[in-house]
Amino acid sequence: MVENENKKVILYIFIAYIFSIAVRFIWVYQFKDVSMFKFNGQFMINTNDGYFWAEGARDILAGFHQLHDLSPVDSAASKLTALFVKILPFSFETVIFYMSTFLSSLVVIPIILISQSIKKVEVGLIAALLASIAWSYYNRTMSGYYDTDMLNIVLPVFLLWSIILAFKTKEEKYLLFTALDILVYRWWYPQSYALDFSMFGLILLYILVFDRKNFYLYKLLSIMLYAMMMTSIYIRFPAVLILYIMFKDKKYDKYLLYIFLVGAVGFFLTGGFSPIWSQLKGYVFKTKVSKEDKGLGLHFFTVMQTIREAGKIPFETFANRISGNVITFFISVIGYIWLTYKERVFLLALPMLGLGFLAYVGGLRFTIYAVPVLAFGIAYLIVQIADYIKDIKLRYTFMVIATLAILYPNIIHIVRYKVPTVFNSSEVAVLEKLKKIASREDYVVSWWDYGYPIRYYADVKTLGDGGKHSGAVNFPLSFILTKPQDVAAKMARLDVEYTEKDFKIIDENKSKLFDKKRLPSTIEQMTVDYGYKDSNDFLSSLKTDIKLPKKTRNIYLYLPFRMINIFPTIELFSNLDLMSGDRFRQHFIFQSSRFVQNKSIIDLGSGVKILTKEGKIIVGDKMVNINRFVETIYDKQGRLHVKVDRIDPSSSLNVIYMKNYRRFLVVDNAVYNSTYMQLFVLQNYNKKYFQPVILTPWAKVYKLKI
């Protein structure tokens, strides 16, 4: 009987795993003939952060990397990738593209094993089928989504499995499994700390309320404490093994209280609640402007206000991302309540469910944590209802139809979810060419969104990226891209040299108790060094002939066409008074690629119309003269031609028609004169400050001359 049950479990795992992988190949099939999504004959990845881990894996395989290049050579994702590349007969690009496909699908294993523990493996099969492809889980683990999310749900569900089995069996081996899972999960994803702590807290609450004399559960808490400490894994792993050996021997039970207390003290002394509070501050207690608590007390715009995954989402989106459908979501909640009533151990999944529900106020990225929990809920409901059907054929027919019904909206979403790769092949070709021109010590300045792929393809340094994008870091980048060329060029040289100067200070103080986070922002240090007490005065001084730091390396500006779409967001970071935090007047930028042209009117939509004969533009209920009407067009040789028709120099609005892109831009004079607009859109560069290096319709690279 047990043997048959085990065979069924293995069969169900195989079915669910293959199903999960097959669904992730839908994207591959859809874009198999799209050459713009491929590099070196293989698909490129479709998440920016993936290039961070790819850079680390690349450098591990190469055996070296540059000092202060921020390559994650010590990260788990990079190490695992490098291992796979070494042992598998596939190219680097193939491995990073398909890792998420095969690793994320492993979530079906603990789901089905958990269902086996309650003797309802059909619940596990249905839950595994749904959880493995549910809307948000698929979005963050699809083919090409090379990121830590590929194991970020797999590992906590394995943790849930080991804790549930610990409660049910009281066997010592599950103490070890629980601790090892915590160790591996922390190694893979350091932010796992919050979820581990929540599960610990729930178990502690259960003990205090219901089972204070259960020695086994105290052992479970103790080994979890030692596994969660904020110390090196080389300390925690031996400690866990020693505890496991001790807990197998009853003679050590009398020391259990002391073991627990030592673990609790060690836990708080090594970090305690700090990492959890940091996460809460970042995603829940968000502020639009952050203030430095040192020096001049400068104010910066916070990046969390611009990240979609950290913003509040509508309830329908919230429900869809967890279950694929609002109705399915509510039925799943009912099913989970029924499941916990029948099987109390599923209350241990509350931390995952709670973290998933945090998405409603803290950002959509967290929804994936609730996916497997509510998948259990609706699967349990389906099987329980089926149990009331006496006819076996009708019972299984109902289960199949009900399962297909809950899978359908998720599969429809997957078929429609045609996300592009991060860069297209033409953009990558620019960075590949730049790699041959720039040295590894040179800096490429661009917006932080593109930092990781720039570093991966061009093998250079950057000022901002997906992990280094605080308001203080983004201010100079925004300033460079949105201000006139003369001040932008000076800021580029200043920020690069001051960034390198900070690295030197950190290196010189490595042997001391030195917190690099206490270093003033580069903007503040510039302000002080140039003899100002007000950063606004320092920024104004950039318009004069100030003395710049000695040049130690070359600097390049990477300006992609796609940056136009986020230009208004980029401007937010430097369009404020650093001393007070007050916003300056917002500059005007409007773009349209869906317009209707009549004989004398071009309707751009949203109440914006161009009166071509009169040389005027209507914006809402106002009609004003046009300053410049500019048309840009590339010839067959790829050369840009710019035609400027000056209509009313006293007007503040300019119209740019980018003919090859079929896109209109309506911008005020400040935006028109910005470095990005002048260098990318118009190729009107100041020869004193910039030199063109690579000019293509997709992306342009300029070298700083000062």
- pLDDT tens-place string over residues 428-477: 999 999 999 999 999 999 999 999 999 999 999 999 999 898 999 999 99
Token pair listed for 483? 């201000």
User: Each residue of 486-545: pLDDT tens digit?
Assistant: 999 999 999 999 999 999 988 888 766 556 666 889 999 999 999 999 999 999 999 999
Mean pLDDT of the chain: 92
Q: Give the mean pLDDT of 45-53.
A: 96
pLDDT of residue 68: 87
Give the list of residues 6+ apart from residue 178 with CB closer than 8 angstroms, or none: 159, 162, 163, 166, 220, 223, 224, 227
Q: Amino acid identity of 109?
A: I
As beta bridge partners, residue 599 has none
Q: Give the mean pLDDT of 213-224.
A: 92
Domains defined along the chain, listed by start: 2-416 (no CATH), 425-571 (3.40.1380.40), 586-704 (no CATH)
Is residue 249 scored above 90 in pLDDT?
no
pLDDT of residue 506: 87
Is residue 283 scored above 70 in pLDDT?
no
> Does residue 187 or residue 253 have the better pLDDT?
187
DSSP one-letter code for 391: S
pLDDT of residue 253: 86
Three-state secondary structure string covering 296-360: CCCEEECHHHCCHHHCCCCHHHHHHHHHCCHHHHHHHHHHHHHHHHHCHHHHHHHHHHHHHHCHH
Give the list of residues 6+ apart from residue 118 with CB closer than 8 angstroms, or none: 343, 345
Is residue 690 scored above 70 in pLDDT?
yes
pLDDT-derived band of residue 599, with 50, 70 and 90 as boundaries? confident
pLDDT of residue 290: 60
pLDDT-derived band of residue 307, with 50, 70 and 90 as boundaries? low
Distance CA 25, CA 372 (A): 21
pTM over cut 0.75: yes
**CA angle 378-15-123, nearest 5°?**
25
pLDDT of residue 555: 98
pLDDT-derived band of residue 139, with 50, 70 and 90 as boundaries? very high
pLDDT of residue 706: 94
pLDDT-derived band of residue 293, with 50, 70 and 90 as boundaries? low
pLDDT-derived band of residue 294, with 50, 70 and 90 as boundaries? low
pLDDT of residue 281: 55
Q: Give the mean pLDDT of 565-586.
A: 93
Q: Give the mean pLDDT of 647-659.
A: 96
Burial 147-174 (b: 16+ CB within 10 A, else e): bbbbbbbbbbbbbbbbbbbbbeeeebeb
Q: Give the mean pLDDT of 394-400.
A: 96
Please give the backbone phi and psi of residue 68, each rounded to the nearest 5 degrees, phi first: 65, 25
pLDDT-derived band of residue 361, with 50, 70 and 90 as boundaries? confident
pLDDT of residue 291: 61
Q: Give the mean pLDDT of 197-221.
A: 91
Give the list of residues 6+ apart from residue 516 with CB closer than 8 angstroms, or none: 502, 506
Let me know: does 499 contact 444? Beta carbons within 8 Å: no
pLDDT-derived band of residue 102, with 50, 70 and 90 as boundaries? very high
